[in-house]
Structure 1
Amino acid sequence: MLTAAGNIFEHVLRDAVDEEFAELVAAEGVRIERIASTGQASPPGFWYDQEWSEWVLLLSGSAGLLFEGESTPRELKRGDYLLIPAGRRHRVEWTDATEPTIWLAVHYGFVAPP
């Protein structure tokens, strides 16, 4: 078995146009990724609507996450975590533009492709 190692805060492009997604672990039914945001947000009118659940932990920065049916975004800061159940429509309203927002996302409850 191979051992993977690294530092979750390394190699963040501070002037990236798009969010950066890096898969850290993938196994049947689960995927763990690092997401690095530097001021990005979901496009106007776009909603994530996933067939799997996602647990996110904000390691640095801050963000506003809006769920369909809620009037104001939930503000997340360093150390905050949130469970997004499968089928719960949501969008990223904003991320910190002054420092990288680093998310640890655990996706689970799906069937991995063969």
Structure 2
Amino acid sequence: MLRNLYASLPDKLEEEQFDELAAGQGVRIERIISRGHSSPKEGWYDQPRHEWVAVLQGRAVLAFVTGEERELGPGDHLVIPAHCRHRVAWSDPEQTTIWLAVHYNG
């Protein structure tokens, strides 16, 4: 089935939207849509699998428990190792940020 990563973008977005695109054999691929969203200040993602994440459109900042921050724009990508605590510190409120995330076993 042919689908488009830029299709079906919501006009209003109360919270980040996570759409699973494919999954199987220890891999999950998802599209994440943000518009001015961030993780709760007290909350950190601590995922059991590695995550490769790319920003296809928009801008965002990922913060890590170590104090490091990474700003991502279109085309930027990085690997977040399993159990590397991180959070979305900021996403652009003026435009839709589209992420592509691949969760996989190491």
TM-score by shorter chain over 0.5: yes
2:51 aligned residue:
54
TM-score of the two chains, using structure 2 as the length reference:
0.95
**Structure whose alpha-carbon radius of gyration is higher:** 1
> Which residue identity is paired with 1:83?
V
Q: In structure 2, what residue type is equivalent to 1:19?
A: E
- State how far apart, in whole Å, the 2-side matches of 1:68 and 1:61 are: 24
One-letter code aligned to 2:71: E
Give me the identity figure in percent: 49
Supply the RMSD in Å over aligned alpha carbons. 1.2
Deviation >3 Å, runs of 4+: none
Q: Deviations over 1:5-48 (max 9, x none)?
A: 21101111132111111111111100000000011000111000
Say yes or no: does 1:97 pair with 2:93: yes
**2:103 aligned partner:** 107
| 1:78 and 2:92 correspond | no
2:41 aligns to what?
Answer: 44
Unpaired runs of at least 5, structure 2: none
Structure 1: which 5+ residue stretches go unaligned? none
After TM superposition, the score normalised by the length of structure 1 is 0.89
In structure 1, C-alpha distance between the alignment counterparts of 2:69 and 2:92, rounded to whole Å: 14
